[in-house]
Amino acid sequence: MQYSTPILTVHGLTKHYGGVRALSDAGFELAQGEHAAIVGDNGAGKSTFVRLITGAEMPSCGEITLDGGPVSFRSPLDAREQGIETVYQTLALAEDLDVPANIFLGRELTYNNWGPFSVLKSRAMREQSVDMLQTTGVKIQDMSESLRGMSGGQRQCVAIARAAGFAKKLIILDEPTAALGVQETARVETIIKGLKERGVPLIIISHNLRQVFDLVDRIWVFRQGRIIGSRLTKETNPEEIVAFITGAKEMSSVSEATTC
């Protein structure tokens, strides 16, 4: 495994918002089949990193390689078409559409492929949506109701079911269980373990260190807009990770040169 091409490699990734440096010179790597966590305090740059590698925002500079080739996604849909599924911290769902329409947003099943003349396979999408949602254990009474009337946790489950169902190369979850109850959290953790068994690489952002230590192979620490390094989960402990997050302890990793 350690000799295979990483699924994702990031070099010198940087994002400025005017004078604010949300992320500087980020270097990151994810092996095939690896599950990694990103941890760090509020405002450390975690969500920025996710938005940059999935085309939700353009980097100021830096390089991203997916499965051995350079990529520069123009939009999250572009990234999805190339096998990256993302659940953003601020959910990218359409409030006015129902659950099946949200799950198949941008990749609707049709009877033919003649653009505006295509006919939607509504029943097939509905049935597949029910199956996908069952894995999260979330109960949604009426699948034809728009998302507007659903709770934050229910919406989160729709987004996670969609991502887990379609992920081919990589799945990224930005604080997927922050809004969930105990049972839904356990279900989501089971889904993540299932993705590990299927060999789907995963990045999870979480403030829950119990969850992180339970789920992933490697932990990456972000601090004040920088990736300060990573540790294999089996070679560290929660106390050490907290010390890295707060800056009480430094990692002996080489920081990348400033590129912009």
Ligand X SMILES: Nc1ncnc2c1ncn2[C@@H]1O[C@H](COP(=O)(O)OP(=O)(O)OP(=O)(O)O)[C@@H](O)[C@H]1O
Q: Smallest distance from the beta carbon of 14 to ligand X, in angstroms?
A: 12
Q: Which stretch binds ligand X (CB under 6 A): 38-46, 67-75, 103-111, 157-165?
A: 38-46
What is the C-alpha end-to-end distance of the chain, expressed in Å? Answer: 33
**Is 31 a residue that touches ligand X (CB under 6 A)?**
no
19 or 199, CB closer to ligand X?
Answer: 19
How far is residue 209 from each of residues 148, 156, 174, 197, 240, measured CA to CA in Å?
32, 20, 14, 22, 11
Q: Smallest distance from the beta carbon of 39 to ligand X, in angstroms?
A: 9
Q: Smallest distance from the beta carbon of 24 to ligand X, in angstroms?
A: 11
Nearest to 89 by CA among 193, 9, 206, 169: 206
- Measured in degrees and rounded to the nearest 5, phi and psi for residue 87 equal -110, 110
**Is 58 a residue that touches ligand X (CB under 6 A)?**
no
d(Cα 196, Cα 193) in Å, to the nearest integer?
A: 5
Token duo for residue 246: 């707060």
40 or 201, CB closer to ligand X?
Answer: 40
What is the per-residue binding string for ligand X in 60-99, x denoting contact by CB under 6 A? Answer: -----------------------------x----------
76 or 100, CB closer to Mg ion?
Answer: 76
Query: Of the candidates 5, 17, 247, 255, which one interacts with ligand X according to CB under 6 A?
Result: 17
**Is 22 a residue that touches ligand X (CB under 6 A)?**
yes
Strands (E), 153-239: 170-174, 202-205, 218-223, 226-232
